[in-house]
Chains A and B, each alone.
Chain A
């Protein structure tokens, strides 16, 4: 459900402004309204003076430095509850900064080396078979080049140029190093170093460049040194990380300072939203009715009668924020509803309905005892694993626990255990529909689910329109319901399931429904009414995906079982396990997306009013950080 909101004004003496803001911040129960956008407040906004603007800048700088320091550490300290002196923290940060910067730079360099070294090593190793014993001579230099195989003719030109320069006192050893590249090792006398480098530059040949540390080493030695370095680097990086953690972790006061600085910054920014005269202030805001008494008590604690809370009537121009508050099992579904768009204030919150139908549809599509069981184990593991480290993930896993539960139930209904394996091995029989064979009942069932769900959406649309006294929507929703019911009767008569005497009333119902859909829409209604009815029929048929996805899943499982039975037992088990894993992955992803879509498009389209803005109380931001 959506929590009703109250619009309040807090009015008091300017000297009580700070304690009032601090109390509201601690309570985190009121979303401030910018007085420049609120017609009910006639006071001018409180503009910040130079000192406050300076403080805002300083606080932002301090927060940025603390954030940067904590980002370096893998174990940032937890804030202590004590109040700290922000000036002292600034001095401490300034003192610690040079060491932290050095450590951070050194870590970055080592991490970059760890990333690039394997590439150098790979180039060198490819060239190693070409390196002659000659390179061991002290008076010779070795240059290595790797060329694209298409440009290997460059080596011929290089050979001629070197011959001209060194009169044959050199050696080029070339060879294919892989499918696309040719490598060459060029051995030249050390005394002609400069001329050779110039020549290589003129020929536009790129040498294999080594990091400076290995440039003076011999070819083979460089490979050995690099291999040794690759072993040492992770240890050195870990040591540096430990030193960074040791430099940051003990500073609980820094973490407390970050929270304190954010709170103060939030207060200073909030002041720009208030109305004030020389002696009084007005804070306008939204408070959930469930929190109103808490706000009253907090205000009273500042000083009896010094700050007054006034309830303000909500007018049509106001757009109250939206706070969804559902029972615990439904809470993870709030995020799924908001993924589309938060519901508009005063409209219907479909979270509980989504909690009922989304897992049900998922189960109808997956419908397998073992798949459901495996998914249940996975979801329960996620719930347990992230209970502390990431409560939101843990809560969200609840969606899959429910979905897996329904998948097991529908698995029993369809008699499926790893597809048809339950039937083959244990003689498991379906309680109701065998999805492999009974296509027609399955399709009828899927359409029936669609009729029920879309009709529920239309009924909610009727209720919602009645609450808002929206005659146009009311007429449209009732008309669509009637036309849909009439169409169903017509189909029933055509299929011989309903006595033929119902044909005339059925057609009459469709006509009445269409007239209601068109009536209040004006001339355009003649076009939109029939189109909308066709759209609703399309919505109902869209539920056929429940059958379609299910059939695809059951046939994939059957393919897995039949492939598994082809070869020797151990190969069969591996093949079947691979296919079933693939099917489980597909069978988890696809029904989840399809069930969501059925809600967003087919169901919500009939009643949902989105476009709301989420309630964001003053004081909630710095707590999140």
Chain B
């Protein structure tokens, strides 16, 4: 397959996943910081909650890597 199309596919896989992660982290982050203003002892849990959506971009990375490795030869 055209190498350019493979690269675009891989880029879309990780790029769209990154947008989704960023959107989720922005929503969780703003709520989390609000919670921290009231209860600073929640720091650990807020970090955890903000970090949770990162799995999405990691899965996007996995898909992008598979596209490159399997199709790119």
Interface residues of A in 279-334 (CB under 8 A from B): none
Q: In the complex, what distance in Å separates the CA atom of A276 from the CA atom of B9? A: 76
Q: In the complex, what distance in Å separates the CA atom of A339 from the CA atom of B42? A: 8
Residue of A whose beta carbon sits closest to that of B61: A548
Contacting residues, chain B, for A339 (C-beta < 8 A): 43-44, 47
Whether B5 sits at the interface, judged by CB under 8 Å, is no
Whether B28 sits at the interface, judged by CB under 8 Å, is no
Interface residues of B in 38-61 (CB under 8 A from A): 43-45, 47-48, 51-52, 54-55, 58-59, 61
User: Which one of B43, B58, B61 has the highest number of Cβ atoms from chain A below 10 Å of its Cβ?
Assistant: B58
Contacting residues, chain A, for B47 (C-beta < 8 A): 339, 593, 596-597, 600
Residue of A whose beta carbon sits closest to that of B43: A339
Q: Kindly supply a per-residue 1/0 record for chain A positions 530-557, scoring 1 wherever the CB is within 8 Å of any chain B CB and 0 otherwise.
A: 0000000010011011001000000000
- Do residues A597 and B58 form an inter-chain contact, with CB atoms below 8 A? no
Contacting residues, chain A, for B54 (C-beta < 8 A): 545, 594, 597
- Do residues A601 and B68 form an inter-chain contact, with CB atoms below 8 A? no
Whether B8 sits at the interface, judged by CB under 8 Å, is no
Contacting residues, chain B, for A600 (C-beta < 8 A): 44, 47-48, 51
- Do residues B55 and A542 form an inter-chain contact, with CB atoms below 8 A? yes
Contacting residues, chain B, for A548 (C-beta < 8 A): 58, 61
Tell me which of B44, B45, B58 contacts A542 (CB under 8 A): B58
A544 in contact with B51 given A339-B43, A341-B44, A440-B69 (CB within 8 Å)? no
Contacting residues, chain A, for B62 (C-beta < 8 A): 443, 541, 544
A103 vs chain B, min Cβ distance (A): 34
Contacting residues, chain A, for B24 (C-beta < 8 A): none
Q: In the complex, what distance in Å separates the CA atom of A612 from the CA atom of B50? A: 23
Q: In the complex, what distance in Å separates the CA atom of A338 from the CA atom of B55? A: 23
Tell me which of B45, B59, B68, B69 contacts A340 (CB under 8 A): B45
Q: In the complex, what distance in Å separates the CA atom of A443 from the CA atom of B67? A: 13
- Do residues B55 and A340 form an inter-chain contact, with CB atoms below 8 A? no
Interface of A is mostly: helix
B48 vs chain A, min Cβ distance (A): 5
A330 vs chain B, min Cβ distance (A): 18
A552 vs chain B, min Cβ distance (A): 10
A122 vs chain B, min Cβ distance (A): 35
Whether A439 sits at the interface, judged by CB under 8 Å, is yes
A541 in contact with B48 given A439-B65, A443-B65 (CB within 8 Å)? no
Q: In the complex, what distance in Å separates the CA atom of A600 from the CA atom of B47? A: 9
A405 vs chain B, min Cβ distance (A): 24
Residue of A whose beta carbon sits closest to that of B41: A341
Contacting residues, chain A, for B65 (C-beta < 8 A): 439, 443, 544
Contacting residues, chain A, for B48 (C-beta < 8 A): 340, 597, 600-601
Tell me which of B43, B51, B59, B61 contacts A597 (CB under 8 A): B51
Q: Kindly supply a per-residue 1/0 record for chain B positions 10-30, scoring 1 wherever the CB is within 8 Å of any chain A CB and 0 otherwise.
A: 000000000000000000000
Contacting residues, chain B, for A596 (C-beta < 8 A): 47, 51
Q: Kindly supply a per-residue 1/0 record for chain A positions 333-345, scoring 1 wherever the CB is within 8 Å of any chain B CB and 0 otherwise.
A: 0000011110000
- Do residues B44 and A538 form an inter-chain contact, with CB atoms below 8 A? no
Contacting residues, chain B, for A542 (C-beta < 8 A): 55, 58
Q: In the complex, what distance in Å separates the CA atom of A115 from the CA atom of B41? A: 35
Tell me which of B43, B52, B58, B68 contacts A544 (CB under 8 A): B58
Residue of B whose beta carbon sits closest to that of A597: B51
Tell me which of B44, B58, B68 contacts A541 (CB under 8 A): B58
A340 in contact with B58 given A439-B68, A593-B51, A601-B52 (CB within 8 Å)? no
Q: In the complex, what distance in Å separates the CA atom of A304 from the CA atom of B46? A: 52
Q: Kindly supply a per-residue 1/0 record for chain A positions 452-477, scoring 1 wherever the CB is within 8 Å of any chain B CB and 0 otherwise.
A: 00000000000000000000000000
Contacting residues, chain B, for A439 (C-beta < 8 A): 65, 68-69
Interface residues of A in 196-243 (CB under 8 A from B): none
Contacting residues, chain A, for B68 (C-beta < 8 A): 439
A20 vs chain B, min Cβ distance (A): 32
Tell me which of B43, B44, B52, B58 contacts A545 (CB under 8 A): B58
User: Which one of B47, B52, B55 has the highest number of Cβ atoms from chain A below 10 Å of its Cβ?
Assistant: B55
Q: In the complex, what distance in Å separates the CA atom of A338 from the CA atom of B44? A: 8
A454 vs chain B, min Cβ distance (A): 13
Residue of B whose beta carbon sits closest to that of A440: B69
Residue of B whose beta carbon sits closest to that of A598: B51
* 24 residue pairs A–B, Cβ–Cβ below 8 Å: A340-B48, A341-B45, A439-B68, A440-B69, A443-B65, A541-B55, A541-B58, A541-B59, A542-B55, A544-B58, A544-B61, A544-B62, A544-B65, A545-B54, A548-B58, A548-B61, A593-B47, A594-B51, A594-B54, A596-B51, A597-B51, A597-B54, A600-B44, A601-B52
| Residues of B participating in the A interface, judged by any CB pair closer than 8 Å | 43-45, 47-48, 51-52, 54-55, 58-59, 61-62, 65, 68-69
